[in-house]
Amino acid sequence: MECFDHTWISSPKLDTVTVRPVNGVLSVTYVFDEEQEWTLSVTTQADREAKKRPLEFNIYSLMDDLYGRNPYRGDLHAHSTGSDGKEDPVIVAANYRKEGFDFFALTDHGKWEPSDEMLKAYADIPLGIKLFHGEEVHVPNIWIHVVNFGSNTSVNTLYRENAEEIDAAMREKALTLKTPKGVDPLEYAYRKWITEEIRRAGGMAIVPHPYWIHRQSYNMSDRALEYVFETGAYDAFELVGGQSVHENNVQIAFYQEQRAKGRQIPIVGSSDSHGTDPASYFGVGRSVVFAKDMELESICDAVKSFYSVAIEQQPCGEEERVYGSYRLVKYTRFLMDHYFPSHDELCVEEGVLMREYALGDELAGDALRKMACRTEKLMKKLLRGEKS
């Protein structure tokens, strides 16, 4: 048995261990001294002399903090017919599972209720995908988009029911704010209020598509975007989304420059999908979050603690690009090659059955109950070595 260190390119360093089968099983103990990918190459002396290709297995060694977390693919920003999307909320959820997502939040413009409709539709069925409440928050007085991920109540509804009072409070607050040049104090006051209410309701506030080109200008000014992260006015940054290469390119450049200045910013990738059929409509942005489980608190904590990457893939079929910390990007690339393909095969059938169940097929519901936890079992088998 030989272990190949993947950090070597030309002449790899090989560690060789001689093993003999016991009751038909090869067993070996080996200490990996780096967090990285390795190749386990198994051959016999006879095969080596005959120059036969050895059996090879890919392994990734992890530090304790990352080994204790699971990789979940998710989208935290998408739309349905609840606002300006193309499909019903329950169909959107089914299509996301079919495409290999582990968690998903529906965030319709100005409406939290469609996400609640989605959760209630599948409440009696065990699913491999975790569905979350959400909404995209807007106020009519000023141009603002904020993604509310996971909140247990609607900030949009709160605003509509108390608009006069809130508007007056924001105008008064703006008079006391000393924002830097280029940052509108009234806009900043609303942004802070929205984030505080999202957090109060148990959610995570995400700044989406700041460099979306709308009416010949970017969605947010450079100074405003920098200031909201300087002051902790948001929990995470939508690094890539359902936008053009131009727009995502500028967002990534902003993020890289902030990191060069020593500022850490939690990131997610989202699609901002307005349609999921065909699947290419929502493949532009996604996240992989390394969390202890798929509960809301764990997902949010993982993002805020910088255990997430953003993934970009343009609909023209280009290979996916992964952004984030070096160690997480390396591990995610390994998972994309050796874990997610098997994971995604299981998701296809479940997504199809979710769609049929949503359309009234009770037999599909029975099938979903029987196949519950398949991807979880696969994860334990491939990433933990546990037997099902």
Report pLDDT for 19.
86
Q: Where in the chain is the domain with CATH 3.20.20.140?
A: 67-344
**Mean pLDDT per 10-residue segment, the chain (388 residues):** 54 78 87 92 88 91 96 98 96 96 98 98 96 97 95 98 98 97 96 98 97 91 94 96 92 95 95 85 87 98 98 80 97 97 97 96 96 94 86
- DSSP string covering 212-268, please? -EETTEESS-HHHHHHHHHTT--SEEEEE-SS-HHHHHHHHHHHHHHHHTT----EE
Query: Using N-to-C axis directions, what is the helix angle for 362-370 and 340-358, rounded to 10°?
Result: 150
CB count within 10 Å of CB 232 equals: 9
The pLDDT score that the predictor gives to residue 317 is: 64
Decide if 268 contacts 238 (C-beta within 8 A): yes
Structure tokens at 351: 């997504």
CA dist., res. 229 & res. 204, Å (int): 14
Q: Is 148 helix (H, G, I), strand (E, B) or coil?
A: strand
pTM, to two decimals? 0.94
pLDDT computed for residue 30 by the predictor: 87
C-beta of residue 188 within 8 angstroms of C-beta of residue 227: yes
Q: What's the pLDDT score for residue 2?
A: 55
CATH homologous superfamily for the domain 67-344: Metal-dependent hydrolases (3.20.20.140)
Name the residue among 106, 153, 102 with its Cα closest to residue 132: 106
